[in-house]
Amino acid sequence: MLIPHPLLGLRDSQEFTYLGDAALMDRPDPAGGNAEAAFTDYVFLRDNPAGVHRELWFHEQGDRSWLVVTRDTVTHEILGAELARDVKLNEEGAQ
Amino acid sequence: MRFSGFRVVKEALTGHKGWGMLWRNPDPKPAYDIVIVGGGGHGLATAFYLAKTFKQARVAVLEKGWLGSGNIGRNTTIIRSNYLLPGNEPFYEFSMKLWENLEQETNFNSMVSQRGIINLYHTDGQRDAYRRRGNAMLLAGADARLLGQDEVREIAPFLNFDNARFPIKGGLMQPRAGTARHDGVAWGYARGADMRGVDIIQNCEVTGFRIEGGKVQGVETSRGYIGAGKVGVAVAGNSSRVMAMAGMRLPIESHVLQAFVSEGLKPTIPGVITFGAGHFYVSQSDKGGLVFGGDIDGYNSYAQRGNLPVVEDVIEGGMALMPMIGRARLLRSWGGIMDMSMDGSPIIDRTEIDGLYFNGGWCYGGFKATPASGYAFAHLLATDRPHETAEAYRFDRFARGYVIDEKGVGAQPNLH
């Protein structure tokens, strides 16, 4: 698989380390009232869809950036890639 | 129809006209006491033990494709019980004992062959860890032998003992481990269940659950609604998709695991051998092909095919372990979809929905577990209590902090 890195262009997926669902970027509030239950869900439960999946890849053997890659888990087709940092900043800007 | 030596001779003399179909192909009835979703190894084994051991008469198995079309037909056929942790080892040893009697129990030749497995060690630290594992196996009633280099050399002289980076110092052997004919296991269980009245309904995809007042009433399928007192789901690989129809999220990611087979060769490899310095395991089928595999690809996938980097990684492991494998030609490679759970161990449990039961999360170790998984799931479905060897396989172990993490890598499915 080739991942279209927003800064470096097409890169071999072998240069990356896979973490999992991009929802892992949204950590629950550790001081929240239901923190224990929220963290149990956060750490252990996954949507695991068949189809389009947004997921975190780390460019370990490249520029060491975290990417949010949108990929189809049924066909392995890669539909897009963004810097995770940009995704987070956009989310915060939208709030 | 019972298989026996006498029967083979009789059929040989009468033109083989008496062999019938191994199972019926029935239409679904309006309702059953117990409906098993998934006609793979685990689902069929569950139905078999429900009918035979727990005397359940009205049981159906629903399979979306053809019988045994999933991972029971895609694995590398290894059976073993060389686990470490108390939550796992008694269960897998129970499975090993069921394997040893499987052919008598199902009256079907599943070609169970106890040719032994050797896990190689390459350092003193690894030897000590294997000694501990071997002792844990002995405590659970399994068999284990720690071999020195000379003993391994006697069994498998072709290994690369003097590899500069990973010299082979010895191995942990389980002599009772081995291989079985994977399709034969599915067929034997299917035939045994069918003979005892279980309806195996193929080309029947479950499209939803009918749940009223927190209790399951039945399943919607591509062949109409089927009522059910209890529903047991055994669809590893697709567990998250199926259970999402009941509104559940699971501690599971689906990943692809590749496997490989070479052209047929003369007998070379005496049992199952695993590399201790990389992830590579190999055995030889009765047809002569070297059957081998290694790591999962490492990203979520439902594709039933993998990519080239892992192919290279597996072959590199093979070349490091036994350089002669480089002279064999690869015949086929394929992929299967694994339920990778968050601690590397399975789940056999009730759900929050009354009457809905779940069996999954087998990671890439489901084949060896087939008999015990079926037995334990049948036990749970029939008695509402977990089987004594499967008590640790609960959904709530994650929240309670009782994970069963053989590799000790935490909630990161692609590392298990």
What is the predicted ipTM?
0.96
pLDDT at A22 over 90: yes
- Name the residue among B393, B356, B354, B357 with its Cα closest to residue B372: B393
**Residue A55 near chain B (CB below 8 Å):** yes
Q: How far apart are the C-alpha atoms of B172 and B179, rounded to whole Å?
A: 17
pLDDT, tens digit, for every residue of B400-414? Answer: 999 999 999 999 999
Find, in chain A, the residue whose alpha carbon is nearest to that of B301. Answer: A73
Which residues of chain B lie closer than 8 angstroms to A75, CB-CB? 303
CB proximity list for B104: less than 8 A, separation 6 or greater: none
**Residue A34 near chain B (CB below 8 Å):** no
Give residue A94's pLDDT: 77
pLDDT, tens digit, for every residue of B44-103? Answer: 999 999 999 999 989 999 999 999 999 999 999 999 999 999 999 999 999 999 999 999
Give residue B367's pLDDT: 98
Which residues of chain A lie closer than 8 angstroms to B307, CB-CB? 1, 13, 76
Q: How far apart are the C-alpha atoms of B275 and B30, rounded to whole Å?
A: 51
The DSSP code sequence of B366-406 is HHHHHHHHHHHHHHHHHHSS--TTSTT--TTHHHHT----S
Q: How far apart are the C-alpha atoms of A46 and B406, rounded to whole Å?
A: 21
Confidence of residue A23 (pLDDT cuts 50, 70, 90): very high
**Residue A52 near chain B (CB below 8 Å):** no
So where are chain A's domains? 2-94
Query: How far is the alpha carbon of B85 from chain A, nearest alpha carbon, in Å?
Result: 20
pLDDT at B244 over 90: yes
- Indicate the fold that domain A2-94 takes in CATH: Folate-binding fold (3.30.2270)
pTM above 0.80? yes
pLDDT at B1 over 90: no
Q: What number of helices (H) and strands (E) belong to chain A?
A: 2, 6
Beta bridge partners of B257: B296, B336
Opening angle at CA B69, ends B65 and B74, nearest 5: 155
User: Alpha carbon B52 to chain centroid distance?
Assistant: 21
The Cα-based distances of A6 to A9, A41, B127 in angstroms read: 6, 31, 46
Mean pLDDT of chain B: 97
**Residue A41 near chain B (CB below 8 Å):** yes
So where are chain B's domains? 18-81+84-107+182-250+343-415, 117-177+253-341
Beta bridge partners of B200: B61
Region B117-177+253-341: CATH code: 3.30.9.10
Kindly determine whether residue A44 and residue B411, on different chains, have CB atoms separated by under 8 Å.
yes
**Residue A95 near chain B (CB below 8 Å):** no
Mean pLDDT of chain A: 96
Give residue B174's pLDDT: 98
* Over residues A16-37, mean pLDDT: 96
CB proximity list for B34: less than 8 A, separation 6 or greater: B50, B56, B58, B59, B60, B228, B229, B230, B231, B232, B381, B382
The torsion region of residue B214 among left (phi > 0), alpha (psi -120 to 50) and beta comes to left
Find, in chain A, the residue whose alpha carbon is nearest to that of B308. Answer: A1
User: Alpha carbon B394 to chain centroid distance?
Assistant: 19
Residue from the list B240, B298, B303 with its beta carbon closest to the beta carbon of A48? B240
Number of residues that make up chain A: 95
pLDDT at B275 over 90: yes
Opening angle at CA B295, ends B291 and B299, nearest 5: 130
Residues of B contacting chain A (CB within 8 angstroms): 238, 240-241, 244, 249-254, 298-303, 307, 309, 342, 398-399, 411-414
* Over residues B340-354, mean pLDDT: 97
- In a 10 Å sphere around its CB, with 0-12 CB exposed, 13-18 middle and 19+ buried, how is residue B20 labelled? exposed
Output phi, psi for B85, to 5 deg: -80, 150
Strands B272-274 and B117-121: parallel
Residue from the list B300, B342, B412 with its beta carbon closest to the beta carbon of A73? B300
CATH architecture of residue range(s) B18-81+84-107+182-250+343-415: 3-Layer(bba) Sandwich (3.50)
Report whether B103 contacts B192 (CB < 8 A).
no
pLDDT at A93 over 90: no
Output phi, psi for B378, to 5 deg: -65, -40
pLDDT, tens digit, for every residue of A61-86? Answer: 999 999 999 999 999 999 999 999 99
pLDDT, tens digit, for every residue of B97-153? Answer: 999 999 999 999 999 999 999 999 999 999 999 999 999 999 999 999 999 999 999
Which residues of chain B lie closer than 8 angstroms to A74, CB-CB? 302-303
- Name the residue among B248, B229, B254 with its Cα closest to residue B363: B254
**Residue A29 near chain B (CB below 8 Å):** no
Query: How far is the alpha carbon of B285 from chain A, nearest alpha carbon, in Å?
Result: 31
For chain B, first and last CA: distance in Å?
43
SS3 content of chain B, % helix, strand, coil (to 5): 30, 25, 40
